[in-house]
Amino acid sequence: MLKLLRSRKLESLLAQRRDRLHRLANSWCHDVMLADDLVQDTLAKALKNHHQLKDNEKIDGWMFRILHNTWMDHLRRYKPTTDLDDIDPFDDATPESNLSDEQLANRVQLAVFKLPIPQRQVITLVDLEGSSYAEVSEILELPIGTVMSRLNRARNTLKKRLIGIRKRESNPVQVDYIRRVK
Amino acid sequence: MMNNKSDSINNNEKDKEQLNAFVDGELNELQRERLLNRLDNEPELRGELCDIHRVKDLMVFAYPLTTDKQVSTSANTKYGAIAASLLAVLSLGFLAGYLTSNQEMLSYNQLASNLDKKAVRLSDIQQKSEKVIIYLGSSQKEKFDEALDKAESLLTKYKKDGAEVYVVTSAGGIDLLRTSNTASQSRIKTMSSLYKSLHFVACNNQIYELHKKGEDVKLVDEAKVAPSAVQFIVDHLEKGWKYIAI
Protein backbone atom coordinates (compact mmCIF):
# COMPACT_ATOMS: atom_id res chain seq x y z
CA MET A 1 0.00 0.00 0.00
CA LEU A 2 2.80 2.37 0.96
CA LYS A 3 4.56 1.51 -2.25
CA LEU A 4 1.44 2.32 -4.24
CA LEU A 5 1.02 5.67 -2.48
CA ARG A 6 4.65 6.55 -3.07
CA SER A 7 4.31 5.67 -6.71
CA ARG A 8 1.16 7.81 -7.05
CA LYS A 9 2.90 10.70 -5.37
CA LEU A 10 5.87 10.38 -7.67
CA GLU A 11 3.60 10.31 -10.72
CA SER A 12 1.98 13.49 -9.53
CA LEU A 13 5.36 15.15 -8.91
CA LEU A 14 6.53 14.14 -12.35
CA ALA A 15 3.38 15.40 -14.02
CA GLN A 16 3.79 18.78 -12.33
CA ARG A 17 7.25 19.08 -13.85
CA ARG A 18 6.37 18.06 -17.36
CA ASP A 19 6.03 21.60 -18.73
CA ARG A 20 9.28 22.74 -17.19
CA LEU A 21 11.08 19.70 -18.53
CA HIS A 22 9.68 20.41 -21.95
CA ARG A 23 10.82 24.01 -21.87
CA LEU A 24 14.31 22.97 -20.80
CA ALA A 25 14.51 20.19 -23.39
CA ASN A 26 13.33 22.59 -26.09
CA SER A 27 15.89 25.19 -25.07
CA TRP A 28 18.59 22.54 -25.40
CA CYS A 29 17.58 20.89 -28.67
CA HIS A 30 15.56 23.70 -30.32
CA ASP A 31 13.07 21.16 -31.66
CA VAL A 32 9.60 20.89 -30.17
CA MET A 33 8.99 17.35 -31.41
CA LEU A 34 12.33 16.10 -30.21
CA ALA A 35 11.75 17.84 -26.88
CA ASP A 36 8.45 15.91 -26.61
CA ASP A 37 10.32 12.65 -27.13
CA LEU A 38 13.07 13.54 -24.70
CA VAL A 39 10.54 14.43 -22.02
CA GLN A 40 8.60 11.20 -22.62
CA ASP A 41 11.78 9.16 -22.28
CA THR A 42 12.82 11.11 -19.22
CA LEU A 43 9.49 10.54 -17.50
CA ALA A 44 9.53 6.86 -18.38
CA LYS A 45 13.05 6.47 -16.99
CA ALA A 46 12.13 8.41 -13.87
CA LEU A 47 9.17 6.14 -13.19
CA LYS A 48 11.22 3.04 -13.82
CA ASN A 49 14.04 4.17 -11.54
CA HIS A 50 11.95 5.90 -8.91
CA HIS A 51 13.71 4.00 -6.14
CA GLN A 52 16.86 6.02 -6.92
CA LEU A 53 15.17 9.18 -5.69
CA LYS A 54 15.77 9.15 -1.96
CA ASP A 55 14.58 12.65 -1.23
CA ASN A 56 11.58 14.21 -2.98
CA GLU A 57 13.05 17.64 -2.32
CA LYS A 58 15.75 16.83 -4.82
CA ILE A 59 13.40 15.75 -7.57
CA ASP A 60 14.16 18.73 -9.84
CA GLY A 61 17.88 18.06 -10.01
CA TRP A 62 17.23 14.35 -10.39
CA MET A 63 14.84 14.91 -13.30
CA PHE A 64 17.16 17.38 -15.03
CA ARG A 65 19.98 14.90 -14.68
CA ILE A 66 17.88 12.19 -16.35
CA LEU A 67 16.91 14.63 -19.09
CA HIS A 68 20.56 15.53 -19.60
CA ASN A 69 21.56 11.85 -19.88
CA THR A 70 18.66 11.16 -22.23
CA TRP A 71 19.71 13.98 -24.50
CA MET A 72 23.35 12.95 -24.44
CA ASP A 73 22.25 9.42 -25.44
CA HIS A 74 20.24 10.92 -28.27
CA LEU A 75 23.19 12.99 -29.50
CA ARG A 76 25.42 9.92 -29.44
CA ARG A 77 22.92 8.00 -31.56
CA TYR A 78 21.99 10.78 -33.95
CA LYS A 79 24.60 13.30 -34.89
CA PRO A 80 23.14 16.78 -35.48
CA THR A 81 22.28 17.30 -39.13
CA THR A 82 22.05 21.08 -39.05
CA ASP A 83 25.24 23.03 -39.35
CA LEU A 84 24.78 25.68 -36.73
CA ASP A 85 27.00 28.07 -38.63
CA ASP A 86 24.37 28.10 -41.36
CA ILE A 87 21.85 29.62 -39.03
CA ASP A 88 21.95 33.35 -38.76
CA PRO A 89 19.79 34.64 -35.95
CA PHE A 90 19.77 38.07 -37.55
CA ASP A 91 19.10 37.25 -41.15
CA ASP A 92 15.86 39.10 -41.77
CA ALA A 93 15.57 42.68 -42.82
CA THR A 94 13.21 43.82 -40.11
CA PRO A 95 14.48 46.95 -38.40
CA GLU A 96 15.48 46.08 -34.88
CA SER A 97 13.10 48.53 -33.33
CA ASN A 98 10.18 46.94 -35.17
CA LEU A 99 10.74 43.40 -33.96
CA SER A 100 7.61 41.76 -32.69
CA ASP A 101 7.73 39.78 -29.48
CA GLU A 102 7.64 36.58 -31.44
CA GLN A 103 10.52 37.62 -33.67
CA LEU A 104 12.53 38.70 -30.69
CA ALA A 105 11.88 35.42 -28.90
CA ASN A 106 12.91 33.51 -32.03
CA ARG A 107 16.14 35.44 -32.28
CA VAL A 108 16.98 34.82 -28.67
CA GLN A 109 16.21 31.11 -29.08
CA LEU A 110 18.41 30.88 -32.16
CA ALA A 111 21.22 32.71 -30.43
CA VAL A 112 20.93 30.25 -27.53
CA PHE A 113 20.91 27.35 -29.99
CA LYS A 114 24.13 28.61 -31.51
CA LEU A 115 25.89 28.36 -28.17
CA PRO A 116 28.03 25.27 -27.66
CA ILE A 117 25.93 22.59 -25.98
CA PRO A 118 27.75 22.67 -22.63
CA GLN A 119 27.25 26.44 -22.34
CA ARG A 120 23.66 26.15 -23.50
CA GLN A 121 22.85 23.64 -20.80
CA VAL A 122 24.39 25.70 -18.04
CA ILE A 123 22.71 28.99 -18.95
CA THR A 124 19.27 27.42 -19.40
CA LEU A 125 19.47 25.59 -16.10
CA VAL A 126 20.46 28.79 -14.29
CA ASP A 127 18.20 31.27 -16.06
CA LEU A 128 15.12 29.20 -16.84
CA GLU A 129 15.11 26.76 -13.96
CA GLY A 130 16.75 28.97 -11.37
CA SER A 131 19.15 26.16 -10.50
CA SER A 132 22.00 27.11 -8.20
CA TYR A 133 25.56 26.65 -9.38
CA ALA A 134 25.92 23.73 -7.00
CA GLU A 135 22.82 22.08 -8.47
CA VAL A 136 24.06 22.60 -12.02
CA SER A 137 27.40 21.16 -10.99
CA GLU A 138 25.63 18.07 -9.69
CA ILE A 139 23.27 17.69 -12.66
CA LEU A 140 25.96 18.03 -15.30
CA GLU A 141 28.76 16.51 -13.21
CA LEU A 142 31.03 19.52 -13.51
CA PRO A 143 33.20 21.44 -11.06
CA ILE A 144 31.53 24.67 -9.93
CA GLY A 145 34.39 26.68 -11.48
CA THR A 146 33.54 25.18 -14.85
CA VAL A 147 29.87 26.00 -14.37
CA MET A 148 30.81 29.62 -13.67
CA SER A 149 33.15 29.95 -16.63
CA ARG A 150 30.66 28.34 -19.04
CA LEU A 151 27.90 30.57 -17.79
CA ASN A 152 30.12 33.60 -18.21
CA ARG A 153 31.05 32.65 -21.76
CA ALA A 154 27.42 31.94 -22.66
CA ARG A 155 26.21 35.28 -21.32
CA ASN A 156 29.06 37.14 -23.00
CA THR A 157 28.17 35.60 -26.33
CA LEU A 158 24.47 36.31 -25.94
CA LYS A 159 25.24 39.85 -24.89
CA LYS A 160 27.23 40.44 -28.07
CA ARG A 161 24.54 38.88 -30.22
CA LEU A 162 21.44 40.22 -28.58
CA ILE A 163 21.80 43.37 -26.57
CA GLY A 164 20.50 46.32 -28.46
CA ILE A 165 18.36 44.37 -30.86
CA ARG A 166 15.30 46.07 -29.51
CA LYS A 167 16.80 48.83 -27.49
CA ARG A 168 15.07 52.14 -27.67
CA GLU A 169 16.92 54.90 -29.37
CA SER A 170 15.91 58.37 -28.31
CA ASN A 171 12.24 57.79 -29.12
CA PRO A 172 9.52 57.54 -26.54
CA VAL A 173 8.49 54.09 -25.32
CA GLN A 174 7.06 52.07 -28.16
CA VAL A 175 3.67 51.26 -26.88
CA ASP A 176 2.46 49.42 -29.96
CA TYR A 177 4.38 46.22 -29.48
CA ILE A 178 3.53 46.16 -25.83
CA ARG A 179 -0.15 46.32 -26.62
CA ARG A 180 0.12 43.56 -29.17
CA VAL A 181 0.95 40.90 -26.59
CA LYS A 182 -2.18 41.49 -24.56
CA MET B 1 54.22 42.85 -20.88
CA MET B 2 52.49 39.76 -22.23
CA ASN B 3 51.89 38.60 -18.69
CA ASN B 4 50.33 41.90 -17.70
CA LYS B 5 47.89 41.72 -20.61
CA SER B 6 47.01 38.14 -19.82
CA ASP B 7 46.51 38.97 -16.12
CA SER B 8 44.23 41.82 -17.07
CA ILE B 9 42.06 39.56 -19.26
CA ASN B 10 41.90 36.95 -16.54
CA ASN B 11 40.92 39.54 -13.95
CA ASN B 12 38.26 40.85 -16.28
CA GLU B 13 36.79 37.38 -16.73
CA LYS B 14 36.92 36.78 -12.97
CA ASP B 15 35.10 40.07 -12.43
CA LYS B 16 32.41 39.00 -14.85
CA GLU B 17 32.06 35.65 -13.13
CA GLN B 18 31.63 37.52 -9.85
CA LEU B 19 28.96 39.71 -11.41
CA ASN B 20 27.17 36.63 -12.73
CA ALA B 21 27.32 35.09 -9.28
CA PHE B 22 25.95 38.32 -7.81
CA VAL B 23 23.02 38.38 -10.23
CA ASP B 24 22.32 34.70 -9.56
CA GLY B 25 22.41 35.15 -5.80
CA GLU B 26 25.51 33.00 -5.39
CA LEU B 27 27.73 35.35 -3.39
CA ASN B 28 28.05 35.26 0.36
CA GLU B 29 27.49 38.44 2.36
CA LEU B 30 31.14 39.45 2.45
CA GLN B 31 31.68 38.89 -1.27
CA ARG B 32 28.54 40.77 -2.01
CA GLU B 33 29.53 43.69 0.16
CA ARG B 34 32.91 43.93 -1.56
CA LEU B 35 31.34 43.83 -4.97
CA LEU B 36 28.76 46.44 -4.04
CA ASN B 37 31.55 48.77 -2.97
CA ARG B 38 33.31 48.28 -6.28
CA LEU B 39 30.08 48.83 -8.17
CA ASP B 40 29.72 52.18 -6.47
CA ASN B 41 33.03 53.28 -7.90
CA GLU B 42 33.40 51.47 -11.22
CA PRO B 43 30.99 52.53 -13.98
CA GLU B 44 32.25 49.83 -16.36
CA LEU B 45 31.41 47.15 -13.86
CA ARG B 46 27.94 48.64 -13.47
CA GLY B 47 27.50 48.53 -17.22
CA GLU B 48 28.46 44.86 -17.25
CA LEU B 49 25.96 44.19 -14.50
CA CYS B 50 23.19 45.84 -16.52
CA ASP B 51 24.04 43.68 -19.51
CA ILE B 52 23.89 40.49 -17.48
CA HIS B 53 20.46 41.48 -16.18
CA ARG B 54 19.31 42.14 -19.72
CA VAL B 55 20.53 38.81 -21.02
CA LYS B 56 18.83 37.07 -18.13
CA ASP B 57 15.58 38.88 -18.81
CA LEU B 58 15.80 38.00 -22.50
CA MET B 59 16.23 34.34 -21.63
CA VAL B 60 13.10 34.31 -19.50
CA PHE B 61 11.22 36.24 -22.16
CA ALA B 62 12.22 33.87 -24.96
CA TYR B 63 11.23 30.69 -23.17
CA PRO B 64 7.84 31.22 -21.55
CA LEU B 65 6.56 28.27 -19.60
CA THR B 66 3.67 26.93 -21.66
CA THR B 67 1.19 24.33 -20.57
CA ASP B 68 1.22 20.91 -22.11
CA LYS B 69 -1.87 21.71 -24.19
CA GLN B 70 -0.30 24.87 -25.52
CA VAL B 71 2.74 22.97 -26.61
CA SER B 72 0.85 20.32 -28.46
CA THR B 73 -1.90 22.49 -29.93
CA SER B 74 -0.29 25.83 -30.48
CA ALA B 75 -2.65 26.59 -33.34
CA ASN B 76 -5.65 26.12 -31.13
CA THR B 77 -7.07 29.57 -30.64
CA LYS B 78 -8.72 28.54 -27.41
CA TYR B 79 -5.30 28.72 -25.80
CA GLY B 80 -4.14 31.72 -27.77
CA ALA B 81 -5.42 34.20 -25.26
CA ILE B 82 -3.81 32.32 -22.39
CA ALA B 83 -0.51 32.20 -24.24
CA ALA B 84 -0.76 35.91 -24.97
CA SER B 85 -1.47 36.68 -21.34
CA LEU B 86 1.45 34.55 -20.25
CA LEU B 87 3.68 36.25 -22.76
CA ALA B 88 2.52 39.61 -21.55
CA VAL B 89 3.32 38.73 -17.97
CA LEU B 90 6.75 37.49 -18.88
CA SER B 91 7.35 40.45 -21.12
CA LEU B 92 7.14 42.76 -18.18
CA GLY B 93 10.38 41.66 -16.66
CA PHE B 94 12.06 41.94 -20.01
CA LEU B 95 10.46 45.23 -20.75
CA ALA B 96 11.51 46.70 -17.45
CA GLY B 97 15.07 45.83 -18.30
CA TYR B 98 14.81 47.73 -21.53
CA LEU B 99 13.25 50.79 -20.09
CA THR B 100 16.49 51.78 -18.46
CA SER B 101 18.64 52.41 -21.45
CA ASN B 102 20.54 54.87 -19.33
CA GLN B 103 23.05 52.85 -17.39
CA GLU B 104 23.68 55.53 -14.81
CA MET B 105 22.87 53.96 -11.49
CA LEU B 106 22.67 55.33 -8.04
CA SER B 107 24.31 53.83 -5.00
CA TYR B 108 24.23 50.07 -5.06
CA ASN B 109 24.63 50.01 -1.32
CA GLN B 110 21.36 51.83 -1.10
CA LEU B 111 19.81 49.36 -3.47
CA ALA B 112 21.21 46.46 -1.53
CA SER B 113 18.97 47.10 1.43
CA ASN B 114 15.96 46.52 -0.79
CA LEU B 115 17.53 43.77 -2.78
CA ASP B 116 15.23 40.90 -3.35
CA LYS B 117 17.04 38.93 -6.00
CA LYS B 118 13.88 37.55 -7.55
CA ALA B 119 12.05 40.85 -7.67
CA VAL B 120 14.67 43.37 -8.63
CA ARG B 121 14.64 44.63 -12.17
CA LEU B 122 16.87 47.20 -13.77
CA SER B 123 14.19 49.78 -13.26
CA ASP B 124 14.78 49.49 -9.54
CA ILE B 125 18.20 50.91 -10.11
CA GLN B 126 17.10 53.89 -12.12
CA GLN B 127 16.05 56.57 -9.74
CA LYS B 128 15.98 57.46 -6.13
CA SER B 129 12.34 57.19 -5.32
CA GLU B 130 10.00 55.55 -2.88
CA LYS B 131 7.26 55.24 -5.44
CA VAL B 132 6.83 51.63 -6.28
CA ILE B 133 4.68 49.52 -8.56
CA ILE B 134 4.18 45.96 -7.45
CA TYR B 135 3.10 43.83 -10.35
CA LEU B 136 1.08 40.69 -9.68
CA GLY B 137 0.30 38.29 -12.52
CA SER B 138 -0.31 35.08 -10.62
CA SER B 139 -3.50 33.73 -9.10
CA GLN B 140 -1.69 31.82 -6.36
CA LYS B 141 -2.79 32.67 -2.84
CA GLU B 142 0.81 32.82 -1.60
CA LYS B 143 1.61 35.35 -4.34
CA PHE B 144 -1.32 37.49 -3.22
CA ASP B 145 0.06 37.44 0.31
CA GLU B 146 3.54 38.18 -0.95
CA ALA B 147 2.30 41.21 -2.89
CA LEU B 148 0.35 42.58 0.05
CA ASP B 149 3.24 41.89 2.45
CA LYS B 150 5.63 43.67 0.12
CA ALA B 151 3.30 46.67 -0.17
CA GLU B 152 2.86 46.84 3.58
CA SER B 153 6.56 46.58 4.26
CA LEU B 154 7.40 49.33 1.75
CA LEU B 155 4.72 51.65 3.08
CA THR B 156 5.86 51.12 6.64
CA LYS B 157 9.56 51.38 5.90
CA TYR B 158 9.33 54.52 3.80
CA LYS B 159 6.42 56.18 5.56
CA LYS B 160 8.44 59.32 6.35
CA ASP B 161 9.58 59.65 2.75
CA GLY B 162 6.04 59.77 1.44
CA ALA B 163 6.02 56.30 -0.02
CA GLU B 164 3.37 55.51 -2.58
CA VAL B 165 2.56 52.03 -3.83
CA TYR B 166 0.43 50.72 -6.66
CA VAL B 167 -0.42 47.03 -6.69
CA VAL B 168 -1.09 46.45 -10.38
CA THR B 169 -2.80 43.21 -11.33
CA SER B 170 -3.23 41.43 -14.60
CA ALA B 171 -3.61 37.85 -15.87
CA GLY B 172 -4.32 35.58 -12.87
CA GLY B 173 -3.28 38.33 -10.47
CA ILE B 174 -6.56 40.11 -11.03
CA ASP B 175 -8.22 37.53 -8.80
CA LEU B 176 -6.71 39.38 -5.86
CA LEU B 177 -9.15 42.22 -6.48
CA ARG B 178 -12.24 40.17 -7.26
CA THR B 179 -14.97 40.13 -4.67
CA SER B 180 -15.09 36.37 -5.01
CA ASN B 181 -11.70 36.26 -3.31
CA THR B 182 -12.97 36.71 0.21
CA ALA B 183 -9.65 35.70 1.75
CA SER B 184 -7.84 38.90 0.73
CA GLN B 185 -10.85 41.24 0.63
CA SER B 186 -10.77 42.24 4.28
CA ARG B 187 -7.01 42.71 4.25
CA ILE B 188 -7.25 44.99 1.23
CA LYS B 189 -9.92 47.04 2.99
CA THR B 190 -7.86 47.32 6.18
CA MET B 191 -4.68 48.22 4.35
CA SER B 192 -6.44 50.82 2.22
CA SER B 193 -7.83 52.54 5.28
CA LEU B 194 -4.43 52.45 6.99
CA TYR B 195 -2.38 53.64 4.02
CA LYS B 196 -3.87 56.39 1.91
CA SER B 197 -1.02 56.14 -0.57
CA LEU B 198 -1.73 52.51 -1.38
CA HIS B 199 -3.66 51.86 -4.58
CA PHE B 200 -4.93 48.77 -6.29
CA VAL B 201 -5.25 48.59 -10.05
CA ALA B 202 -6.87 45.99 -12.27
CA CYS B 203 -6.12 45.63 -15.97
CA ASN B 204 -9.16 46.30 -18.14
CA ASN B 205 -7.80 44.13 -20.95
CA GLN B 206 -7.82 41.20 -18.59
CA ILE B 207 -11.33 41.99 -17.39
CA TYR B 208 -12.42 42.06 -21.02
CA GLU B 209 -10.83 38.66 -21.62
CA LEU B 210 -12.67 37.23 -18.63
CA HIS B 211 -15.95 38.71 -19.80
CA LYS B 212 -15.41 37.08 -23.18
CA LYS B 213 -15.10 33.75 -21.41
CA GLY B 214 -18.45 34.42 -19.76
CA GLU B 215 -17.05 35.22 -16.33
CA ASP B 216 -18.68 37.85 -14.19
CA VAL B 217 -15.95 40.12 -12.83
CA LYS B 218 -16.79 42.13 -9.75
CA LEU B 219 -13.96 44.06 -8.13
CA VAL B 220 -13.53 45.25 -4.57
CA ASP B 221 -14.37 48.92 -3.93
CA GLU B 222 -10.72 49.77 -3.47
CA ALA B 223 -9.78 48.68 -6.99
CA LYS B 224 -9.31 51.11 -9.84
CA VAL B 225 -9.28 50.00 -13.46
CA ALA B 226 -6.56 50.94 -15.93
CA PRO B 227 -7.05 50.34 -19.65
CA SER B 228 -3.87 48.26 -19.80
CA ALA B 229 -1.64 47.12 -16.94
CA VAL B 230 1.41 47.14 -19.20
CA GLN B 231 0.73 50.68 -20.36
CA PHE B 232 0.10 51.77 -16.80
CA ILE B 233 3.42 50.35 -15.67
CA VAL B 234 5.30 51.81 -18.61
CA ASP B 235 3.84 55.25 -17.95
CA HIS B 236 4.89 55.13 -14.32
CA LEU B 237 8.35 53.73 -15.01
CA GLU B 238 8.93 56.66 -17.31
CA LYS B 239 8.12 58.93 -14.41
CA GLY B 240 10.76 57.22 -12.28
CA TRP B 241 8.68 54.70 -10.37
CA LYS B 242 10.32 51.50 -9.25
CA TYR B 243 9.00 48.18 -10.39
CA ILE B 244 8.82 44.92 -8.52
CA ALA B 245 7.40 41.75 -10.04
CA ILE B 246 5.90 39.22 -7.69
| ipTM, interface predicted TM-score of the complex | 0.78
The pTM of the full predicted model, rounded to 2 decimals, is 0.53
B92/B8 same-domain check: yes
Residue B121 in domain? no
Is B124 inside any structural domain? Answer: no
A60-93 pLDDT tens trace = 999 999 999 999 999 988 765 554 444 444 444 4
The domain made up of A1-81 has a fold known as: Rna Polymerase Sigma Factor; Chain: A (1.10.1740)
Asked if pLDDT for residue A129 goes beyond 90, the answer is: yes
Give me the helix-helix angle, B43-62 and A117-127, nearest 10°.
Answer: 90
- Of the pLDDT bands very low, low, confident and very high (cuts 50, 70, 90), residue A157 is very high
B75 and B162 in a single domain? The answer is no
Report the C-alpha gap between B201 and B217 in whole angstroms.
14
Whether B61 and A152 lie within 8 Å, measured CB to CB: no
pLDDT tens column, B97-127: 333 323 223 233 333 333 333 333 333 333 3
A41 contacts: CB under 8 Å, gap ≥ 6: A70
| Three-state DSSP string of chain B | CHHHHHHHHHHHHHHHHHHHHHHCCCCCHHHHHHHHHHHHHCHHHHHHHHHHHHHHHHHHHHCCCCCHHHHHCCCCHHHHHHHHHHHHHHHHHHHHHHCCCCCCCCCHHHHHHCCCCCCECHHHHCCCCCEEEEEECCCCHHHHHHHHHHHHHHHHHCHHHCCEEEEEECHHHHHHHECCCHHHHHHHHHHHHHCCCEEEEEEHHHHHHHHHCCCCCCECCCEEEECCHHHHHHHHHHCCCEEEEC
For chain B, which residues lie within 8 Å of any Cβ of chain A, measuring from their own Cβ?
13, 16-17, 20-21, 24, 26, 51-52, 54-56, 58-68, 71-72, 84-85, 87-88, 91, 95, 98-99, 101, 205, 228, 230-231, 234, 238
In this predicted structure, the answer to whether residue B80 has a pLDDT above a threshold of 70 is no
Q: So what's the pLDDT on residue A126? A: 97
| Domain ranges (residues) in chain A | 1-81, 85-182
Kindly report, residue by residue over B13-70, the tens digit of the pLDDT.
889 999 999 999 999 989 988 988 888 888 888 888 888 988 998 899 899 987 544 4
Confidence of residue B229 (pLDDT cuts 50, 70, 90): confident
Whether B144 shows a pLDDT value over 80: the answer reads yes
Judged by CB atoms closer than 8 Å, whether chains meet at A108 and B61 is answered as yes
At B67 the pLDDT is 59
CA of A129: which chain B residue's CA is closest?
B60
What integer pLDDT is reported at residue B126 of this predicted model?
Answer: 37
**Shortest CA gap A181–chain B (Å):** 5
Name which of B62, B85, B98 is nearest A109 (Cβ-Cβ).
B62
Q: Is the CB of A156 less than 8 angstroms away from the CB of B16?
A: yes
pLDDT at res. A99: 61
pLDDT for B50 equals 84
| pLDDT tier, A154 (very low <50, low <70, confident <90, very high otherwise) | very high
Residues B77 and B156 both lie in one domain: no
Based on the domain organization, do B106 and B135 belong to the same domain? Answer: no
Residue A9 has pLDDT above 90, yes or no: no
- Interval A45-64: pLDDT, tens: 998 888 888 888 889 999 99
From the list A108, A156, A166, the residue facing B59 with the nearest CB is: A108
CB of B26 closer than 8 Å to CB of A132: yes
Chain B residues close to A36, C-beta within 8 Å: 71-72
Flag whether pLDDT at B159 surpasses 80. no
Q: Which of B113, B148, B176 is the last residue of a domain?
A: B113
User: Inter-chain contact A178–B17, Cβ cutoff 8 Å?
Assistant: no
**Domains in chain B, number:** 2
pLDDT at A153: 96
Q: Percentage of residues in chain B with pLDDT exceeding 90?
A: 22
Provide the pLDDT for residue A130.
Answer: 93
Residue scoring higher pLDDT (A57 or B74): A57
Supply the range of the domain harboring residue B231: 129-246
A121 or A162, which is more confident = A121
Q: What percentage of chain A carries pLDDT values higher than 90?
A: 51
* Same domain for B244 and B213: yes
What pLDDT, on a 0 to 100 scale, did the predictor assign at position B32? 87
CB–CB contact B61 A132 (8 Å) = no
What average pLDDT does the structure give for chain A? 80
Mean predicted confidence (pLDDT) in B168-186? 87
Instruction: Indicate the CATH number of A85-182 among 1.20.120.1200, 1.10.540.10, 1.10.10.10, 3.90.550.10.
Output: 1.10.10.10
**Looking at residues B70-80, what average pLDDT do you find?**
35
CATH number, residue B191:
3.40.1260.10
Closest partner CB to B228 (pick from A18, A22, A179):
A179
Confidence of residue A21 (pLDDT cuts 50, 70, 90): very high
Ranges A82-96, A108-122, B122-136, B164-178: which has the least confidence: A82-96
pLDDT value at A26 more than 90: yes
Domain's final residue, options B56, B82, B113: B113
Strongest mean pLDDT among A14-18, A119-123, B77-81, B135-139: A119-123
Q: How many CB pairs under 8 A join A and B?
A: 114
| Residues B96 and B149 grouped into a single domain | no
- Which residues are registered as beta bridge partners of B203? B226
The reply to whether B123 falls in a domain is: no
Which carries the bigger pLDDT value, residue A121 or residue B6?
A121
**Domain end position, chosen among B81, B113, B145:** B113
Confidence of residue B75 (pLDDT cuts 50, 70, 90): very low
Regarding whether B177 and B214 lie in a shared domain, the answer is yes
